Amino acid sequence: MRRWKPLAVAGVLAASVTVLVASSLAATSTKHNTKAVTLVWWHNANQGAGLKLWNDVAKEYHAAHPDVTIKAVPFETNVLQQTKIPIALASNNPPDVFQEWGGGALVGEVKAKKVANISKYTASWIKTIGGSAAGWQVNGQQYAVPYSVGVVGFWYNKTLFKQAGITSTPTTWPQFMAAVNKLKAANITPISVGGKDRWPDAFYWDYLATKLCSKSTMQQSAVTYNFKDGCWLKAGQYVQQLLDAKPFQNGFLATPAQQVATSSAGLLANGKVAMELQGHWNAGVMQPLTPDNKVPSFLGWFPFPNVPGSKATPGSLLGGGDGFACSAKAPQPQCAQFLAYIDSPGVQKRIGSTSFGLPVRKGTETSVTDPNLRTVLKARSGSPFIQLYLDIAFSRSIGQALDAATADQFAGKATPAQVVSRIADAAKKK
């Protein structure tokens, strides 16, 4: 998956950028090393203002550290995660800095000794990002650092909700299904989903598991890969209930998630559907897909509804973040020092103010001015438990099996029981 594909986002006033850059460089400046190095940096901001921000960061850092040249190389998210990074880490020529989502993939990379332990280089500042750092640790050691952490929820069209007679956003699963039925009755397509990319399908299964399973069951599953608890099967049964209601757009199995105006994000952005379940980055994804290149004024956000009577902690959310790791062959401390700059106040404030992400640095939260993202940030901050995306929390092979199995359920080729069985079978091969 991921996904984290913030594309076109709002610009930043030049004067503000100058101040933020200056403060960031001052905060991360260190004595120049005598040996010049080049850091090859793979990231997933492959167009729009996200690409511009990372290009600016690379230039700024080199200007302040002439002995360190940053060679930024952007890729599309799925290509980067599913092929480029695994192949590169298995080779003798990996990138020095690469996109890292944490979870099972990071554990595997650590076991294979492909990623650097940067604990000693981050010790002086890592507490400034609070608990966000934990998702990029293995056995208490820091192997990567996040720069944005968010949660998944429903982005929706307020105008279409009003037309369907929906006066408040649903907070429970029965209310959600009632909203779907009201939208259908008003001849409005309730939900768009990018089934072609598979991982958007998995959001539903992941989220319903998070809303049905106890916190301990969810946490233990990432270690034991035990899926015998009945809540896993129930997750698929609730997914089937939704599928049986036929809430998605025509041709959803062949629809991409983010790339064009006819993608699932584009359908929501252009008023063709009422909702899409996506991450916090979705507003940035939608902006360049509209005729006026603006985030739709009708856009709103609400968290995934709770399932009454379940063992889950009410308010539990599904989420994750974007981060960067240094490969085992990357020059140190230069690589880790570059990661510190990405998490410095100035860069973090630009990430927040441009809607590029939800910053992790304490004290930079106020940089988020978009009202929807402030709602997402409030939900993130108030949630008692945030479950990492399951295809990220589990090992890469199990995560891929999960995505494939849930995609098959959406295509009518797998039952709820078969989804659990296929995930469990993949776990047995570990």
Judge whether 50 and 258 are in contact, CB under 8 Å: no
The model's pTM: 0.79
β-bridge pairing 68-74 and 37-43: parallel
> DSSP 3-state helix, strand, coil percentages of the chain (rounded to 5)?
50, 15, 35
pLDDT tens readout for residues 143-179: 999 999 999 999 999 999 999 999 999 999 999 999 9
Separation CA 277–CA 205 (nearest Å): 12
223 phi, psi to nearest 5 deg: -110, -45
DSSP 198: S
Check for a shared fold between 14-151+319-382 and 153-318+389-428. yes
Closest CA to 44 of 147, 164, 185: 147
Of residues 273 and 31, more confidence is placed in 273
Residue 190 tokens read as 């309730």
Residue 11: band (very low, low, confident or very high) from pLDDT cuts 50, 70, 90: very low
Q: Give the pLDDT mean for 87-104.
A: 95
Separation CA 283–CA 371 (nearest Å): 11
Is residue 9 scored above 50 in pLDDT? no
Judge whether 28 and 358 are in contact, CB under 8 Å: no
Computed from CA positions of residues 352, 70, 137, 393, in that sequence, does the dihedral angle turn out positive or negative? Answer: positive
DSSP H helical ranges for 91-214: 103-111, 119-122, 158-163, 173-185, 199-212
Q: What is the pLDDT of residue 430?
A: 66
Q: 105-109, 234-238, 371-375 — which one is most confidently predicted on average?
A: 234-238
247 phi, psi to nearest 5 deg: -90, -10
Judge whether 354 and 12 are in contact, CB under 8 Å: yes
Residue 296 tokens read as 């739709």
- CB-based burial, 176-214: b 16+ in 10 Å, e otherwise: bbebbebbbeeebbbbbbbbbbbbbbbbbbbbbbbbbbb
Residue 106 tokens read as 């990071």
Q: What is the pLDDT of residue 139?
A: 85
Q: What is the pLDDT of residue 17?
A: 38
Is residue 426 scored above 90 in pLDDT? yes
pLDDT tens readout for residues 53-85: 999 999 999 999 999 999 999 998 888 988 999
pLDDT tens readout for residues 396-412: 889 999 999 999 999 99
Give me the percent of the chain exceeding a pLDDT of 70. 92
Tallying the residues shown for the chain, one arrives at 430
Is residue 104 scored above 60 in pLDDT? yes
Residue ranges of domains in the chain: 14-151+319-382, 153-318+389-428
Q: What is the pLDDT of residue 310?
A: 96
**Tally of CB atoms within 10 A around 46:** 17
Judge whether 146 and 367 are in contact, CB under 8 Å: no
For tokens 């916090």, what's the residue? 280
CATH code at 14-151+319-382: 3.40.190.10
Measured between alpha carbons, how far is residue 219 from residues 29, 305, 312, 319 in Å? Answer: 39, 21, 12, 14
The fold for domain 153-318+389-428 equals D-Maltodextrin-Binding Protein; domain 2 (3.40.190)
Is residue 29 scored above 60 in pLDDT? no
pLDDT tens readout for residues 233-282: 999 999 999 999 999 999 999 999 988 999 999 999 999 999 999 998 89
Is residue 13 scored above 70 in pLDDT? no
Q: Residue 215, class by beta-carbon neighbours within 10 Å (0-12 exposed, 13-18 middle, 19+ buried)? A: middle
What does the DSSP assignment read for 243-270? HHT--BPTTGGG--SSSSTTSHHHHHHT
Q: What is the pLDDT of residue 26?
A: 45
For the chain, give the mean pLDDT.
90
